Amino acid sequence: MVKLTTSKDPELMALNAKVQTHAKVVPCAVNREKREHFKRNICASGCGRFKDFGDVKPSTLNERGALREAARCLKCADAPCQHSCPTSIDIKQFISQIATRNYYGAAKSIFSDNPVGMTCGMVCPTSELCVGGCNLAATEEGPINIGGLQQFATEVFMKMGVKQTRDPSLPPLDQLADSYRTRVALVGAGPASISCATFLARLGYSDVTIFEKQDYYGGLSSSEIPAYRLPYDAVDFEVRLCTDLGVKFELGKALGRDFSVQSLKDEGFGAVFLGFGLPTANTDPAFAGLEAGQGFYTSKDFLPQVSKASKPGMCCKGAATPALPALHGTVMVLGAGDTAMDCASSAFRCGAERVILCFRRSFNEIRACPEEFEIPKKDGVEVLPYCTPREVVLRDGRIFLVEFLKMEKGADGRWAPDDDQVLRIKCQFVISAFGSHVGDSALVDACAPATFTAQGRVHADPASGQCVGVPWLFAGGDLVGATMTVEAANDGKTASWHMHKHLQASAGGAVPAEMRLPLFHSPIDDVDISIEMLGLKFKNPFGLASATAATTGEMIRRGFEAGWAFCVTKTFSLDKDLITNVSPRIVRGSTGGNIYGPGQTSFTNIELISDKSANYWCGVVRELVADYPDHIVIASIMCSLNEADWTELAQRAEAAGAHALELNLSCPHGMGERGMGLACGTVEGFVRDICRWVRAAVKIPFFAKLTPNVTDICAIAGAAKAGGADGVTAINTIQSLQTVDPDGAAWPRVGQAKQTTYGGMSGSANRPVALAKISSVARAFPGFPIMGTGGVESAEHTLQFVHCGASVVQICSAIQNQDLSVVQDYITGLKALLYLKGREASGAGWTGQTPPPGSLPHRAPGLRDIEDVVASPDRPQFGPYLTERLRARARALKEADLLAAEYVPCGAGAEPARVPRLQDELGRALSRITTWGDLAIKEQVVALVDQEKCINCGKCYMTCNDTAYQAIQFHPETHKPLVLDVCTGCGLCGAVCPIPDCITFVPRTTPFPPQRGVAPDGIPNPAYNPFDAAACGAA
């Protein structure tokens, strides 16, 4: 007889986890084979990169990576990362917004301070800037990948297709003085000019024109930064955000050929900004007179040709199709800066079989930032330090070899060539990347009346960009010595304010002494998120909970200034019930595991109500109501089961001007021992009586705050309603004991005896309980007003609470994890969610602010078809399978036309016909919440694994084996999970899968009889139809 408790399929269980009973011995030869078989860190180096301009930046993140990285951020006070950003982006704010999946809010924070924030997210040398100041660099896990997060947020926003608009709170253009219609010219369509023009347009200047000599936008960002670092659609997107504000671009207009600075002034331009890059390459005398036909390129020749041939959309339609430089053999790249690294990696993509990077100094003095050097290093570049070219040898009119001298460092610290140490290297091509200068004297003359320094830079005030002696002329970027894109952007930003000052002063006007440039704005920011409840108008649904964030009136005042729409004061009592707290009393919870710092999933507190008097709180209420007439002030009060006390305190709070009351009937610790809080809120009769007393005492609305520490919260809510409560607040904290140390002492521990008590747990760990309780009350009492609280930490959470029946939400734990400013994240996030919901009818495939699957990370447009060719569910992405994928990709690229596909920019999407109001979303989920017996038992599903997303970890296999139905096979060679027909669709595999949307659940196409094990009594045939009603009842 087969035992019921033995495995029916030993092969299925072969790779399941087993307890180790002895040391495992594997010969090294076998181990080497296994290592190679499962190796993942394989890359296509060298010639395997031919024509491969897909994103290879090590910083690029998809959504999963961005969320995990953002969660690590500490959101530091006076964050050093922000001080290290030339454009002063609020880095901790945008990272915090990414962590809450508010990608629009993050992009808004970025573009508010840097109009070319997407470009900078892709190309900034962050290790020398923001990342270099990250406090987490002092920890084992290292600093935050800020550049990758910035790129991610701005790319998601680009996918949204939302236009930039001018903030309607600013004076309308037709109401501004004539000085705002002064013509303003900017020369060069690079980052400095785009940044400057954007801020001028935000200020209200309506006649701003950028002149560009090329037939494409972006300046050196487009022409000299390869597509694998900066695709053209990123630059194009930032230009279109600029044109959204009315800025005009005139392409094909060259300074020195078509106009001069003085001619612009003579034509009526009131201010001019010079923001073009340095056009002429520095070259070593050894290569004088050599040209591309002989194998010699400068970076100024080579990189633009590469970009034109690999960036769809960059070149005008109808123009001759550009081709990549036809390289082969060995390529020498001279230089050690970022441009040299771009030349080296691009050389591989143009056909070079071997690339040697030659420079004069040591490794420690490479000028390129580490992340920039990482790409050519991974491509397989060879490095030759301490060398300077002396002579180039030609054969048959082409470069044959280059002779170098060894560089030696003298006692004075200077490097000098040593004529006795000579090195000769054969090569077919040389690319010089030694920097650049203005060069052309005609261009210098055309810049007059600007003057140049001995170093070849425009003579301008570094604090304003204003050219010395020429008040109407400004300069920024390469021309004034900026070495980074982000510095050029900041030069343009800084100059915009001083141009504004000059233009207004010239017209007899004045501007504030403090620089006040407008923030980024879009139609999303115009979405109305106000909501009305019980005649009270909340300008947004976010309020300070009756907790530590509302400890004092001063804190509430700061909360209102930050953007919170309402507050519930810290609970106060009559003076006879005043308390004194113990310490410590607020501790991190244990629900989030070993996570330290912000991002705690729970807190536990044994803090009681406010230790301040009723007179204090009534005074606070009076001040807040008087000073903030558009905010709602709710007084939280608590008494024992005494009618006189409740009557007195409620009337005092009403007399102080409170808009509403919250009756704290639910504090789970301390106060119950005094006959207050939980002692009152768990008995229906007590709740009904207290509400009746308060109803008889006051005319203003009041809410009974409910405890979750009861069997049936609806019974308590019903008692409150019967007593005359206008609504309820759900839920208060959950009674808990978070942790006990190995010595048996719990935390928090008070006094020498290390005693503790059961505390109240708050934070995101409470959210599932809060949603269940709120929806239960909303279903039981339709239309009964609810204030939600318990674990709201994002705009998405807020919408969940609204969908479950709460009109507004109270928040504290999220503030404890960060600060009062989090409300701006929630405001922009909720507006974005409602705006995008207005587009749902278009079927765009967005989930909240998450774009459709496969949209990220960024890939060069010309490679999309190739990705489809390479993708194969039969080939996992490791070892020999990954090698074959890379080979298939290389073969496809070799024949690909990178410019064949029509360039389709991520343009603005259709405006929603109607953006839903928050009131429209109230209770939206309730119709879908029902009893178990009403669920669709006939509509069964099965798991489906997306093999292209699968990382072959086997977590689905393990959990299915040990806690579910043994319905997944795991291949010993490919590590591919295969879902078997016995899958019951339980969902556990999807719950533990580390990759979002890798496992989905699709309708079962065949009937599936439940496996009863042994035939049930009374049912002769165990293989009965499970969808038969009688059978379902028997189940």
Lowest mean pLDDT among 563-572, 671-680, 894-903, 999-1008: 894-903
Task: Give the mean pLDDT of 285-292.
Answer: 94
Mean pLDDT in residue range 955-982: 94
Cα–Cα distance for residue pair 875/134, rounded to 1 Å: 39
Q: Kindly give, in sequence order, each residue whose CB lies less than 8 Å from that of residue 220, ignoring residues fewer than 6 positions away.
A: 190, 277, 478
Instruction: For residues 767 and 776, give the distance between their C-alpha atoms in angstroms, rounded to a whole number.
Output: 14
Q: What are 807's two structure tokens? A: 């009109």
Residue 222's pLDDT band, with cuts at 50, 70 and 90, is very high
Cα separations in angstroms, 22 against 14, 15, 17, 25, 750: 18, 17, 14, 9, 47
- Residue 835 and residue 523 in contact, taking contact as beta carbons nearer than 8 Å: yes
Q: Is 960 a catalytic residue?
A: no
Please compute, for residue 834, the number of CA atoms within 13 A of its CA located in the half-sphere on the CB side.
29
pLDDT at 1030 over 50: no
> What is 333-401 written as a DSSP string?
EE--SHHHHHHHHHHHHTT-SEEEEE-SS-GGG--S-HHHHHHHHHHT-EEE-SEEEEEEEEETTEEEE
- pLDDT confidence of residue 1034: 36
Q: pLDDT tier at 44 (50, 70, 90 boundaries)?
A: low
The pLDDT score that the predictor gives to residue 109 is 98
* Of 524, 523, 535, residue with least CA distance to 807: 535
Is the pLDDT reported for residue 864 higher than 60? no
Tokens 């290297």 sit at which residue? Answer: 425
pLDDT of residue 1: 57
d(CA 22, CA 3): 28
> pLDDT tens across 559-588, in order?
999 999 999 999 999 999 999 999 999 999
Instruction: Give residue-wise pLDDT tens across range 902-933.
Output: 788 876 677 888 999 999 999 999 999 999 99
User: 634 burial class (0-12, 13-18, 19+ CB within 10 angstroms)?
Assistant: buried
| Spatial separation of the C-alpha atoms in residues 108 and 522, rounded to whole Å | 9
What's at 667, amino acid-wise? Answer: C
Our measurement of the distance from residue 179's CA atom to the centroid of its chain's CA atoms, rounded to an integer in Å, reads 39
828 and 800 Cβ atoms separated by less than 8 Å: no
Q: What is the DSSP string of 86-151?
A: TT---HHHHHHHHHTT-HHHHHHHHHHH-TTHHHHHHH--GGGTTGGG-GGGGSTT----HHHHHH
**Dist CA 816 CA 814 (whole Å):** 5
Which of the four pLDDT bands, split at 50, 70 and 90, describes residue 474?
very high
862 DSSP β-pair partners? none
| DSSP annotation of 413 | S
pLDDT of residue 41: 87
Catalytic residue chosen out of the listed positions 667, 680, 956, 960 = 667
For residue 961, the model assigns a pLDDT of: 94
Answer whether residue 519 shows pLDDT above 70: yes
**DSSP conformation letters of 571-626:** PB--GGG-----SS-EEE-STT-S--SS--S-EEE---S-SS-HHHHHHHHHHHHH
Bin 351: left if φ > 0, else alpha if -120 < ψ < 50, else beta: left
Q: How far apart are CA 829 and CA 91, in angstroms?
A: 17
On the question of a cis peptide bond just before residue 857, with omega within 30 degrees of 0, the verdict is yes
How far apart are alpha carbons 158 and 106 in whole angstroms? 12
- The 10s digit of each residue's pLDDT in 879-892 is 999 999 888 888 99
Q: What confidence tens digit (pLDDT) does each residue in 642-674 have?
A: 999 999 999 999 999 999 999 999 998 889 889
Greater pLDDT, 857 or 641: 641
Q: Taking 90 as the threshold, does the pLDDT of residue 977 lie above it? A: yes
Instruction: Calculate what percentage of the chain has a pLDDT beyond 90.
Output: 82
Give the pLDDT of residue 204.
Answer: 98
pLDDT at 863: 45
Are 701 and 726 a contacting pair, CB within 8 Å?
yes
User: pLDDT by residue (tens digit) across 110-149?
Assistant: 999 999 999 999 999 999 999 999 999 999 999 999 999 9
Instruction: Look at residue 79 in the predicted model and tell me its pLDDT.
Output: 96
When the pLDDT of each residue in the chain is averaged and rounded to a whole number, the result is: 93
